[in-house]
Amino acid sequence: MAAQIARTAPWRALLRAFPGPAARPRGVCSLGTLGFSPGPCAPGMPASAPANRAAKRHYSSDPKEDLRVRYLDGEDAGIVVVGLNRPKAKNAISKNLVKMMYDAVDDIKKNNKVRSVILCSVVPGIFCAGADLKERAKMHQSEVGPFVSKARGLITELGNLPMPIIAAIDGAALGGGLEMALACDIRIAASSAKMGLVETKLAIIPGAGGTQRLPRAISVSLAKELIFAAKVIDGDEAYRLGLVNHAVEQNESGDAAYHRALQLAREINPQGPIAVRMAKLAINQGTEVDLSTGLAIEEACYSQVIPTKDRLEGLAAFREKRRPHFKGE
């Protein structure tokens, strides 16, 4: 029984992340039943139903559904799941998706209760295929530059969110899709996931930060090789190169990276939220300057946590040998 609970527990979080409008039956449906769909489980379908019993997936073509953002609750309060959802376009980056992501990032940035963000895909087998080339083909040449600039700005804003951002790469992350993941603090990939900055195949270059972030994530020479040759690598190779923090074996439901990302978010959640934000700021700013300047940045960030109530709570909890309860104050 304990083993069964352990296997189904992650799906409770997924159900909370993408709930349907109708009341959800008791128990936890398999992903085959859910099909990464936000709808409720099929009536009468038991929680333990095999994943392959109802694998048909139903998606909405409504542009308002291109992005699904859910603020988790209960023990997972503070975790936000941002799910890309353009199944027919393989989550390609469109004007509408950029606009929706800007709005989502802005809302998250203003919410002091958010402790971590998971960027994932609601579509099985794909993270993001890059730019929407069909939409791009319809653009006038004068529109391309401004759109790429806006997409670049979005990805920069995503990376500048004050709390940790975890990319869960359960499928292909190509071009702008990988650039989006590179802006995240931590990347987790399924071993079978495919990743690459493949723009040179189209006689262009990565235009949303890839030429800058990839060399900072791995070595400069390796980044050049991957970009020059438009190479696509799997999750295991990405882990070997240091492109992702973890490579996990894909499960039958196709969301192993999401599970690992959720586990990591749960490890971050209990820590002092202001301290985590200041640590991110110190690391991000410090790695762009010399050591002496970096140490000054660390000192400035440390000074921000000294007057917080959370710091006093941490000391009190240590003294009383109990778990601290941080409030982000």
Active site (catalytic) residues: 131, 176, 179, 199
Residue of 11, 259, 59, 55 lying closest to 42 (CA atoms): 55
226/214 Cα distance (integer angstroms) = 9
**Contact at 8 Å (CB) between 53 and 33?**
yes
| Range list of H helices, 44-172 | 95-110, 133-137, 141-159
Reduced to 3 states (helix: H, G, I; strand: E, B; else coil), residue 2 is helix
Question: What one-letter code names the amino acid at 280?
Answer: K
Q: Tell me, rounded to whole angstroms, the distance of Cα 175 from its chain centroid.
A: 16
The tokens for 53 are: 């019993």
Angle of helix 273-286 relative to helix 309-320, nearest 10 degrees, comes to 120
Give the helix/strand (H/E) hosting 189. Answer: strand 186-190
Query: Residue 70's beta-bridge partner residues?
Result: 81
Q: Which helix (H) or strand (E) holds 190?
A: strand 186-190
Sign of the torsion angle spanned by Cα atoms 71, 73, 79, 81: negative
Residue 310 backbone phi and psi in degrees, to 5: -60, -40
End-to-end Cα, the chain, rounded Å: 40
**Do the beta carbons of residue 176 and residue 128 sit within 8 Å?**
yes
CA distance 33 to 50: 8
